[in-house]
Amino acid sequence: MSLRYLHFDLMRALRNTRVMIFTLVTPLLLFAIFGSGQGDQTIGGISAAAYVMVSMAMFGSMSGALSSGGTIAFERGTGWNRTLRLTPLRSSTYVASKVVLSLLLAVPPLVLVFAAGVVLDDVRLSAAQWFQVAATAWLGALPFAALGIVIGYVATPDSVQPISALTTILVAAFGGLWIPVEQMPGWMHSIAELTPAYWTGLTSRSALTTTGLDTHALWVVLLWTAGLAAIGLRLFRAEAARA
């Protein structure tokens, strides 16, 4: 990891309005639409407002995490990676910086949507719950950081946008971030379980229940991360060996 490279990438990401809209404005809007006016309703034993707040925050952090890896596709396509090979920067440092950037870009949507939950919907949690919800939601960005790297090495500059956007939408819709899993028809629920978002959502929401942290779901999240990271590493090595 190179702090200097990370800083350079972060500045570029913050200037990228498309990424900022997708990771900040969209989840906020969705939360404002679906999260408010739920009254005292509950979903799966959790206040509906808190449920939607966590889901939309995770949707935003997932988009942020994915977008970082996606920039690899652009940079491979434009020859930036070749230019970097003419500098002392190692390609492993480059990828490590992208992963850290993913995790950084996952933070603002979490903070923003949580703040909206408190302000707009009067969501009240204990300090321990806030901590656990935030930590697990942030951890939930890990598999998507790895998936971003995979997409970065598979996609071309032309295809990376649609691939990333479609992945985000499908995972959010079928993984239970946009539609609560408890309200899904049976067939959709079965599909949901095949997405990493289902397990990251389950992990994070478990902080709001009386039963405490869902360790089974947490393990599935870590397995997804390990699997996707292994694929990303393979693709990275194949690319590095090509010259």
Partner 1 sequence: MTESKTITSAPPTHALSVRGLRKRYGDVRAVDGIDLDIRTGEVVALLGPNGAGKSTMIEMLLGLVRPDGGDVRVFDGSPADAITTGRLGAMLQSGGIVDDGKVGELIGLVAGLHRDAMSVAEALETAGIAGLADRIFANLSGGQQQRVRFALAIVGRPELLLLDEPTTGMDVESRAAFWRSMHQQTARGRTVLFATHYIDEADAYADRVVMMRHGKIVADGTAAQIKATVVGRTIRARLADPDPAALASLPGVRDVEIRGDTVVMHCDDSDVTLRELLVATDAHDIEVTSAALEQAVLALADDHQPTETTTEASS
| Residues near partner 1, by CB under 8 A | 2, 4-5, 8, 11-12, 15-16, 74-75, 78-83, 85-89, 243
Work out how close the CB of 7 gets to partner 1 at its nearest, in angstroms, rounded to a whole number.
8
Kindly state the smallest distance separating residue 102's Cβ from partner 1, in Å.
17
| Burial classification of residue 212, based on how many CB atoms lie within 10 Å of its CB (0-12 exposed, 13-18 middle, 19 or more buried) | exposed
What is the C-alpha to C-alpha distance for residues 39 and 150, in angstroms, rounded to an integer? Answer: 41
Minimum distance, C-beta of residue 238 to partner 1, in the bound complex (Å)? 14
Show contacts of 120-129: CB within 8 Å, 24+ apart: 120/31, 120/32, 120/35, 120/36, 121/35, 121/36, 121/38, 121/49, 121/53, 122/49, 123/47, 123/49, 123/50, 123/53, 125/50, 125/208, 129/207, 129/208
CB of 105 to partner 1, least distance (A): 15
Cβ closest to partner 1, residue 15 vs residue 39? 15
3-state SS, residue 46: strand
Nearer to partner 1, 39 or 88 (CB): 88
Q: Where does residue 178 rank: exposed (0-12), middle (13-18), buried (19+ CB within 10 A)?
A: middle
Record the tokens describing residue 184, joined without a space: 């899904």
Q: Using the minimum distance from each CB to partner 1, give the nearer residue, 16 or 38.
A: 16
Please report how close the Cβ of residue 169 comes to partner 1 at its closest, in angstroms. Answer: 25
CB of 5 to partner 1, least distance (A): 7
Residue closer to partner 1 (CB basis): 87 or 211: 87
Tokens standing for residue 33: 């639409």
Nearer to partner 1, 87 or 126 (CB): 87
Q: Identify which of residues 41 and 83 has a Cβ nearer to partner 1 in the complex.
A: 83
